[in-house]
Structure 1
């Protein structure tokens, strides 16, 4: 932000949950536990996807990318949040706020597109099983993943520049637990209706384009599955897609509630809790959701552990 008054501007105060001091200690303990489980769960998925040759498939290539993304996403927010929850000092430097917004927004946008890419992978596996290996070749998988990352961080760069070009006039109290667009927009001391409209439009595009594609792919999957004569085949197809659909509903549902709800004091509090959900809870749940009924991952865990045990 530019400071119109020309006074020195060193950083922001993240108000977070300071209006609920009795909640801060509880949140600190809960979020620390969630963060540890997020690190363990997602690191396990990445390690298994690389160690077990049976998991060297497009599905686990995308899943390990999602796990790496979730690790980075949570780490860009939670350590700072834990420090702020435990101390009286709730400041974040100007540069720290810029970096946090750029990284968290880039990773969040990338996840939106990556979930769409994963839906296409499920569509190819269920609807085009005989051509799956030809369709989902390594170069296409790498291209789709790298495109997701490129779009995510290009959008983040544009949004971050537009936000921090707004004049601030000395305002530095962010009514949130991390640097995110909606609360930062409220600090601007000029009429920011154009910026708000632009953010809303971009949010709609980023959230609804992948959702539209996911809905299209799953409508094709449902049609294909319903035509199957084997109940076992239907169960396997739905089982393969169920974990991805669960993550889609959780991530997009909470992100839409946080970004597309009307502005009010109540909505700001709700926004914080929705943000907690999609920045901390969902990255922790993703490994559990994807492995709960997954025989391949359970088999890989046993194989890796058994190998380590035998080597001793």
Structure 2
């Protein structure tokens, strides 16, 4: 959006201090990023959830660094004035620091991200610290961490007992101390998320973590019901049902082709038409006809 001033990590911390909620949405390609920016979203996350909603996998684990670079670059072209965070995919930041930094470099230089997101708490704090020291903003992610779903026993709400709540608090503080500019809390009890939010000086971004986080993030395809079949989620609110609209639009197109109702007279060209009278071929008329 022309004239829009993108957020930065200093402004986000000020938003927390002032009690101004931060809006965040996932996007995975040029048109979805452009639409999100036009809707004045604060931040875009190029999540490895693209494995589920774009690439057709049943988890985020098969998503590669090449996948993330490709989709982040597409999003960056569509949202030139929005702060963009890219996920580090499965097992790209658990080996040597040098290998982790190579992945970060690719997301920043080739993908044009402004920051990276890593899943995990205290166990990855040293890696977070080294990435931050290299000059790259890091968004933490604790609670339900989809890349570890096989280890934690499925998609389960976190922080339901005192011991688990204390673990989450330790992880959040470890990420803050390591230099993370914010922390995503996914599928965390509202009570635990509220305590973490109050304890940290950096923003918390909730997804299924209740009402008291400093911001919220949801998946593009969830808020728009852009899937088939769509699986309802308790923590998601549907703002538009474009999945049904897309299906119905395509079905109508198929019917009209079968019935020879499309193309109609207004969609065709004849030798008798004069170019000036025929009207634009594409959009504003400034575009070239393919092959011309």
Q: Which has the larger radius of gyration?
A: 2
What TM-score, normalized to structure 2? 0.24
TM-score (norm 1): 0.23
Comparing both structures, which one devotes a greater share of its residues to strand?
2
Of structures 1 and 2, the one with the larger relative CO (CA 8 A, separation 6+) is 1
